Chains A and B, each alone.
Chain A
Amino acid sequence: MEQQVRSVCELSLDAEKPLCLQFMASMRSLIVNPHTSNSTISSTLEILIRSLQHAGDSPLRHHALKLLDDIASLRPSLSTAVFDGLRSSFYSSLSAGSSTFASEILATLASLSDKHGNPEIELDDRIFVSLCFLPSVTGRLQLLTNAERLGIGASVLFTVFFGLTKDPYPYVRKAALDGLAGLSRCNEFEDVGLIEGCFRRAVELLRDAEDCVRSAAVRVVIEWGTMLFAAHKEKDTMGNVVFIQLCCVVRDMSVEVRVEAFKALGKVTESMVSEEILLQSLSKITGALEKKIAQAKSSEGKKENRSQAQLTSRVLQMFASNGAGAFLHGLEDEFHEVVKSACCSLRKLVHLSAEFAAQASNLLINMLNDHTVAVRLEALETLHYMAGHGLVNVQKEQMHMFLGTLADKSDIIRYAARRTFRSVKLSEVDCFRSSVSSLLKNLEVHPQDEADTFSVLFHLGRNHGNFASQVINDVCDQLEPVFEGTLSLDSANTAAYLVLSISAPLSKDHRGKHIPPHLYSFAVTHIGRISLGLGDIMDQTTLLTYLTEKSISASSVAECIPEEHPRSPVVHDIPSQDDNKSNTTSWQLVPCESSGNIAATIVSYNQNDDTDILKYLNLILGRVRDIWLFGKSSCNSEALRTLSACKEEVSMYRPNSPESSGACAFTLHYVQVLAKGNVSCWGTTLTTRLSATISQVESLLQEGSMEPSSFVTQVKQTLNQAGILSTAPLFFKKLADTFSLGQFTLRSKITHVSAELVIPGYDSHHPLPFIPGLPVAIPVDITLHNISSEGRLWLSLTSDDGQLTQVLFLDPNLQVVSVGAKMKKKISMPAPFYGPPKVLNSARREYIPRGLSDNIAKLAIRRARLQPRETRNCPSTELGRCLGLLFKNWALQECWYYWI
C-alpha cells in the first residue's frame, strides 16, 4: 500500500489535484504505521502542505491539518518541517482571505509549539486583532485560546480580551475571561483605573447567564481583585470588596461556579479582608453587620471620604444580603465537590484569624454528623489540618459529636478521627477522660484498630501530659495485678493505659511526671503490642530501654540494666545529629506525619543484639517472679492469665543467634512450667514424681559438684516422711507455701538441647497394623538440636497397654541423613518393635503402641537419656529455684533438655 500511496502522492504533486477523503484515510494509515519509511512520510507531508494552499474552502483542509498534526506527533524529527509548512500556509490563507482557516492553522501551530518546543509564532498585532474581529466564532475562540502563544503584546491582548468579554457567544466570553486571568500573572499592568475596570467587568459577568462564563469571571475577580487590592489607595475597602464579591457567588445555581468561588476565596491573602467580614462569612446572622452598615450610612453624610463611605455601605449591604454565611452554605451544600472546595478554602483562611479558626472548627465538628462518608471525611481532614496547626480547641459540648467519629462504623472515618485526635488540643480534663474512654471503647468493639489506637493514646498523652498523669493515677489501682480479685494485665485496656503512662513523661509540657514506676515494669510484658502501636514514634529497642529506665527504681532487675544508660532520658521531637555525639540514650521521637501519611512505619525489631535480648528476657523473668507472689496470694487464675501474656510476649520474639534462641527457649519454658504450676496432684502420684525429680536433681548436682539448696533438702525430708504419714498432702501444701521463687537472671549463654520425633504417615485414625509375634518396623524421623555426635541417644517405645517397652540405641554418626546449620541433625530410620504373641488376646488385631498417639514425641524423648559433654556455670541456687518451682509439675523431666 505504501508504494501505491506514494505513487498517487507523486501524481498528485505533479497534477496539483485536490485530495479525496479515501486517499487521506490511506495516508493516515501510513502515518500511524511505525514501519512506514521516512521518505514516504516526507512525500505525504509535502502533499498535505500543498493541499492546504490549494484546497480553497474544501472541508478536507481540516483533515489535512489533523494529519499534519499526527505527523508532527508521531515523527518528531519532522515537526519542524510541519511547523514551517503550516506557517507558510497560514500566511497564504491570510492573503487568500480565508481568515477562519488561518485561525485553525494558528491553533495547530500553537499546539505544535507547546508539544514539540517549536519556536513561538511571531504574529503581527495588527493581524491578530483583525482576525479576532472577524465574524467566525470558531476562529475567535481558537485565537483567544491560543493568544498567549502567538507572541502578542500584553496591552493588545488586554484590549482584545477585555473587548470580547462582551461577545454574544458564551464560549468566547469565557475564553476572553480566561485570557484576562492569565494576563494578571504577567505583572505588566499597574494602572489602577485599568485594573479596576477589568475587575468591574468580571464582577458584572458574575451574573452572566452561562455557567462557564460565571466560572471564568470568578477566576478573574480573584486575580484582578488581588491586583486591585495591591494597587488601590483604599486597600482595606477594596480587599473586603473582593472577598464579598466572591462570597456573593457561593450560592450560585451552578455547582461549577460554587466550586470555583470557594477556590477563589481560598486565595484571599492576609490583610486583604477584615476579621469581622471574615467572621460574617461563617454566620448567616447579620446583627453585627447591620450596625456596621448603619455606621457606614451615617458617615455618608460627611464630606470627607463620602464616596468611600458609600462604597463601604453598598458593599456591606450586598454582603449582608448575599454573602453572609458563605462558608456555612458551602459546608452544607449537597454536592460533595462544593463541600470539598469550601473545606480547602477554610484550611487556608484559618491562618488569618484565630477567632475565625475557632468558629470554623465549631462548624466542622458539627459536620461530623453528616450522613455521607465523603463529607465526614472532608471535615475530619480539615480538622486534622487545623489541629496540626494548633487551631482546634474542642469544647465540652462538642465532644459528643467529635467522639462519635471514633465509634463510626466506617474504617476510614475511624482512622481519620484518630488521626485528628493525635494533634487535637483538649481544654478540660473531662474532655480528655471522655476521649480516652471513647478510644478504649473503640478498642473493645474494633480490636483490629489496636495499634493505631495506642498511637493516638500516646500522642494524646504527650499533648496533655498533666491530664494523662491524672487519668493514670485515677486508674492506677485498676492496673495493679490484684484489684478486687481481678487481674487484667493482659487486656487491651490495660495495655492502652500503659501506653498513656508511657507517653505522659514525654509530654511536651513536661507536666506528666507523676506516673507510678511499676507501671513501666508492667508495660514490658506488653512490649510487643505496644511497640507495634508506637512504631511511628520509636522502635522497640528504644522503647524497651526507656521502659527499663523508668521502671528501674521499683524493679529488682536493676542489676541487668547497663550502667551507661542515663536515669533521666532526654526527649527530642526530631532526631538531630547532636544525638549521635553522646553515648547516652536519647529518646528520639520520629515525627509521625512527615509526608502527610500517618500510616505507622513499623520499625523492625533489632534482634541482633544479644545483650538487649538478655535484658528483655530478664525483665520478663522479673515480672514472672512478681506474678508468682500474686499466684501465691490465692489469685492463681489471674496469675496464670498474666503468665500466659508473658508467654505470648516471649513467643513473639524471633531471635537470630543460637545463644539468644536458647535463652528465649529457656524463658519460654520457664514461664510455661510456671503456668502449669497450679496443676495439683496429691497422693502417691505426687510422691512418686517428686521422688524422681529429687533424684534427678541430686544427680545433676552431683555432676556439677554442687550442694543442694535448702529447699531441695526440705523436699527430700518431706518425701521421706510422706511415706509414713497419712497427712502427707498437708505437708506438701505447707512446703509449697514456704517456697518463694527467687529472681532468675540470665547472664551467660544457654544452649537449648532438644529432639523431635515424628512418625510419618501415622495418626490416631490410622494405627499401624501389627501382627502379634512378628516384628514391625516403625519409620521414625528424628531431628536433633545441639546434640553432639558423642552424645548417646536412646529411643524407648512403649506399647499402648503399657505392658511392653523396648529400648533402641541410636547412633547419630551412622544414621544422620542431613546436617543443617546451628547444630541441627536429622535422622530417618525404621525402629523395630516386637510384641510376643502371648501379650495379645486375639491372633490378629490392629495394635497401637502407647506413645504413638498424641503424646508420642514427648513420651519417646522422655525416655531418651541425653548425656552432655560438659556442663557450664550453673549456680546451685538458681538451679535449685528452677527445679523447686517445678515441684507441682508432672512434666518435670522436660527440664532435662536444658543445660546451662
Chain B
Amino acid sequence: FLGINDPGFLLSRHRPLAISNCPTTSSDDLPLQPLAAGRWLRFLGKLLPVLRWPPQACPFLLLVEIRQSAPAMGIECLVLGAGQEIGKSCVIVTINGMRIMFDCGMHLGHSDEERYPDFSLIDGSLDCVVITHFHLDHIGALPYFTEVVGYNGPIYMTYPTKALAPLMLEDFLRISVGRGVEEKFTAEDISACMKKVTPIDLKQNIQVGKDLQIRAYYAGHVLGAAMVYAKVGDASMVYTGDYNMTPDRHLGAAQIDPLELDLVITESTYATTVRDSKYASERKFLKAVHDCVVAGGKVLIPTFALGRAQELFILLEDYWERMNLKVPIYFSSGLTKQANIYYKTLMSWTNKKIKDTIALQNAFNLKHVVSFDRSQINAPGPCVLFASPGMLSGGLSLEVFKQWAPSEVNLVMLPG
C-alpha cells in the first residue's frame, strides 16, 4: 500500500561534483538511463559521462560520477526491484568485489511471485544487507529473504527502523491474514529476522569485513530513514532510499557530508514534480478541517498508522492548542498508539524545532488526540478521525466513510 510513494530508479551520470545540488556548466546532453530490473550495469572508470541533469530533477535523479581514477574493478549494480517501477526496492551493488544489498522491499501491488524481488538472480553471496527505512516497499521482503531464502549475513538498519519495522510487518501480516492472503513468512519469521539486525546510528562508521565501510546519513522522509554511504577501497557510493529535502512537521531535511563519490543511486518518483510551499498546503488543510468542525461536521482522514499520521497529529495538535479548540481528534489504529510511544522516545531523530521545544513539551505528548472506539462512529457533535487504511480500501476508514459521507457537513481529507 505504500506504492504511491515508491521510487523508481533512474540512472544518470554527472561529471563535476557529487550528490549535492550544485550546478554543472556542461551543455552536453545525454539521455538518462533508467535502471531496469534484473539487469546488470557496469560502471568503469574509462566510461566518462558528460551529461547534465534536467533542472527540476536535480535533487532526485540518480547521479553517477565515475572518476578518472576509478579502479579497474568498478562498480556493478543488480536491480531486483523498483527499477522503472514503484515498489519492492532492492538493489545489489558490488563495489570492488564486496556485495551489498540495499533495501529488501515487497511490491504491494502484486499478490503473486512478483510481490518479492527475484532473489534467484543473486549470483554468489552477499556481504551485508542495509535497510534504509521501515516502509514495506523497503523492508517487506526481509523476513522472507532471511528466514525462507536463507540469508544469514549481517543486516543493518537504524535504531528507529529496527523499532518500528516489526510493527509494520506484523500489521501487514495481520491484514493479509484477514483478507485470506497467505504470505511467505510468519510472525515468528519476523521475530527471528529482527534478531539478526544490527542497529546503527547516524554517521557511525560500520566496518563490514575487512574492506567494506558503511555509514548512515539522515534522510528525513520517515522516522529513522537513512541514506547509506558505502566505501570499498577507494570506490565509494551513496544509496539514498527515500529522502526529503524539505523539513516537515516532525522531521528535518536530508543531510549529508560533501563526499566524492563514484556512484549515487537515488529515488526519483517525484523527480519531475515541483512541490511549492508546504505552508500553503498546510494552511488549506487546516482551514478546511477548522471550517468543517466549527460548522459541526465530522472530518475523516484516512491515513496509514505510521509516518504521515504522526505528522498530521502534530499539525492538528499544535493548531488545536493555539486556537484553543475543544473538538476531539481520534485515531483508530492500535498500531498508531504503539507507534506514538516509539515516536516519543526517539526524539533525537526528529527535526530541530521539535528537539528545541522538548524541554517545554514533548511534541508527541498529544493532548487533543485520543484513541477511537467504533461505538463513537455515530456519536453526535464534530470530531476529527484518523482511520486506517489510508486508501479507503477496507477496514474502519471505509466503514466510517460510508457512514459519514452522505452528510454534506462532513469532510473527507485524503492527505496522501
Contact = CB atoms under 8 A, between A and B. Distances in A.
A209 interface: yes
Contacts of B186: none
Given A207-B22, A286-B55, A331 B315 contact: no
A488 B22 CA distance: 65
Given A371-B353, A408-B322, A284 B283 contact: no
Size class of A's contact patch?
35 or more
B249 interface: yes
A236 interface: no
A334 interface: yes
Given A322-B23, A371-B318, A363 B277 contact: yes
Interface in A427-482: 445
Contacts of A333: 247, 253
Contact of B279 (A283, A331, A334, A408): A331
Nearest to A373: B357
Given A329-B246, A334-B353, A366-B283, A253 B21 contact: no
Interface string A398-415: 101100100111100000
Contact of B321 (A372, A409, A445): A409
A372 B286 CA distance: 16
Contacts of B56: 286, 320-321
Given A286-B274, A334-B352, A369-B286, A404 B322 contact: yes
Contacts of A375: 353
B290 A400 contact: yes
Given A286-B56, A334-B351, A372-B356, A251 B323 contact: no
B210 interface: no
Nearest to A317: B55
Interface in A181-224: 207, 209
Contacts of A314: 25, 27
A369 B23 contact: no
A367 interface: yes
Nearest to A399: B287
A334 B252 contact: yes
Contact of B324 (A207, A329, A369, A445): A445
Interface residues of B, number: 48
Nearest to B319: A369
A335 interface: yes
Contacts of A317: 23, 55
A321 B58 contact: yes
Nearest to A314: B25
Nearest to B321: A409
A227 to B, nearest CB: 23
A370 B257 contact: no
A284 B276 contact: yes
Contacts of A207: 17, 22
B216 to A, nearest CB: 16
B278 A332 contact: yes
Interface string A29-46: 000000000000000000
A558 B169 CA distance: 84
A817 interface: no
B280 interface: yes
Nearest to B279: A366
Contacts of B356: 336, 372
B183 interface: no
Given A334-B351, A334-B353, A322 B323 contact: no
B314 A371 contact: yes
Contacts of B114: none
Interface in A513-567: none
Nearest to B324: A409
B326 interface: no
B277 A371 contact: no
A328 interface: yes
A299 to B, nearest CB: 15
Interface of A: 207, 209, 248, 251, 253, 283-286, 314, 317-318, 320-322, 325, 328-329, 331-336, 363, 366-367, 369-372, 375, 398, 400-401, 404, 407-410, 445
Given A207-B22, A400-B283, A410-B322, 6 more contacts: A285-B276, A328-B277, A331-B279, A363-B279, A371-B353, A407-B322
12 contacts: A209-B258, A284-B275, A285-B276, A317-B23, A320-B56, A321-B56, A322-B23, A325-B276, A332-B247, A334-B353, A369-B286, A445-B324
For the complex of A and B, list the 3 residue pairs with the smallest distance between their C-beta atoms, beginning with the closest: A366-B279, A321-B55, A334-B247
